Amino acid sequence: MKYTYLGKSGLAVSSLCLGTMTFGGTTDEKDSKEMIHRFLDHGGNFIDTADVYTGGRSEEIVGRSIHNRRSEVILASKVRMPTEGHVNGQGSSRKHIMDGIDASLKRLGTDYIDLYQIHVWDQATPVEETLRALDDLVTSGKVRYIGCSNYLSWQLMKSLAVSEAKGYVRFVSLQQQYSLLNREADREMMSLCLEENVGIIPWAPLGGGFLTNRYKQGEKPTQGRLSAANGGESSWEYRASEKNFEILDQVVKIAKEIDRTPSQVALNWLMGHKGITSPIFGASTLDQYNENIGAVDFELTAEHRDLLDEVSSLPSEYPDRFIRKFKRQI
C-alpha cells in the first residue's frame, strides 16, 4: 500500500479509502468487520463513513471494528443529511453540526474523528456559520481535520476564502464523484483543487458497479444499485449511455491485455490520476473486496493511461479552449 498526504496537511492516508456505505445493510456486520481488518492488514488506514449510512449502523460497526486499532486509522465521517424528524435535524447549521458530531462520536465509540466532512452544500446556512462551528470542533479536539463533499467550484472557493479571511481552519479535502464515467470535475474543480492544494477523494470510482463489466448494453439489471428506480447518480438510465459503454469496452480490453479485472483497471487509473488522493472503494462481499484491493499492486502503462484518458475525456468546451488558445508563452 502506498500513502500520500491529504491536501494541505501532514496527514498521511493510504492510496485507497475503504467506503462503508453498505455496512449494516447489504453487508452484514461479520463481513464488514472482516473487510476492515483485511484492509488494515493490507496497510490501508483510511476509512470513510457517514451519519446517514444504513441509519447510523455503519458508524456503529466501524467503531466496533477499529476499537483496538484506533490510533492507526484515519477515520472520516460526514454531517448534513437528515438524521432527525424535526426541522433542524438536517443542514450545516451550528446546531445540526454540534448535535451531529456528538451522535457520531457515540456511535463510533471514539472521542475524535480525523476527517469531518460537510456531506453536501447547504444553501440555507451562511458559510461563515458552518466554518466557525467546524473550527470550534477542531479547537475542542473532537475533530482533527475538515473536508467537504458534493460542492460546486465556487462553493469550495468561497469556503476557502472565508477560512482565510476569518482565520478558521480550512477544508483539506473534497469528496466528489469522479471516475472514468464522471469527469465533470475536470471543467473547474480539478484545477481549483490543484491550485489550492485540496485533496480529492473520489466516490463511486466504479460508476456504481458499471465498470465491473457485470452489465450488458440494452439489458437493464434486476439486482444491484443500477437496478434501483431511485438510484440517483447510479441509476441505469444515467449510466447506460453509448459513451459509457465505449469507455467500458476500453477498460475490458486493457484488463484482458494485462490479466487484470476491469474493476482493478478503473481503480488503478484513478489512483494514478493527478490531483486524486484516495479513491473510495466499496464492497458488498468479501470477494468484491479481494478483487478491488488488487488494484494497488500494479501500475498501468503510459499507453494504457492515454487510451483511457482519451475515451473518457470531456468534449472541448468554452471558456477552457479559449483560455488554452491564449496561454502565455515566454
- Read off the pLDDT of residues 37-94 as tens digits, 9 standing for 90 and up: 999 999 999 999 999 999 999 999 999 999 999 999 999 999 999 999 999 999 999 9
> Cβ distance 278 to 14 under 8 Å?
yes
Per-residue confidence (pLDDT) for residue 260, from 0 to 100 = 98
User: What gap in Å lies between CA 81 and CA 71, rounded to an integer?
Assistant: 28
Polymer length of the chain: 330
Name the catalytic one among 3, 53, 215, 289.
Answer: 53
Query: Is this structure's pTM higher than 0.85?
Result: yes
For 119, counting Cβ atoms within 10 Å of its Cβ (0-12 exposed, 13-18 middle, 19+ buried), the class is buried
- Region of residue 203 (left: phi > 0; alpha: psi -120 to 50; beta: else): beta
For the chain, what percentages of helix, strand and coil (3-state, to nearest 5) are there? 45, 15, 40
User: What gap in Å lies between CA 221 and CA 263, rounded to an integer?
Assistant: 18
> Cβ distance 235 to 226 under 8 Å?
yes
Amino acid at 19: G
Average pLDDT value over all residues in the chain: 96
**In the predicted structure, residue 229 carries a pLDDT above the cut 60:** no
- DSSP label at residue 48: E
E-assigned strand segments in the chain: 3-5, 12-14, 17-19, 46-48, 74-79, 113-118, 143-149, 171-177, 199-203, 280-281
- Region of residue 170 (left: phi > 0; alpha: psi -120 to 50; beta: else): beta
Give the pairing type, strands 3-5 and 12-14. Answer: antiparallel
Per-residue confidence (pLDDT) for residue 232, from 0 to 100 = 75
User: What gap in Å lies between CA 280 and CA 178, rounded to an integer?
Assistant: 10
User: What gap in Å lies between CA 40 and CA 250, rounded to an integer?
Assistant: 32
**In the predicted structure, residue 226 carries a pLDDT above the cut 90:** no
User: What gap in Å lies between CA 305 and CA 327, rounded to an integer?
Assistant: 26
CATH 1.10.8.60 assigned to 3-209+275-299 = no
User: What gap in Å lies between CA 276 and CA 278, rounded to an integer?
Assistant: 6
Q: If we measure between CA atoms, which residue out of 249, 273, 194, 238 comes closest to residue 8?
A: 194
Q: Which three cell numbers stand for residue 60?
A: 456503529
Q: What is the pLDDT of residues 122-159, one digit of tens each?
A: 999 999 999 999 999 999 999 999 999 999 999 999 99
Sequence ranges of the domains in the chain: 3-209+275-299
53 catalytic? Reply is yes
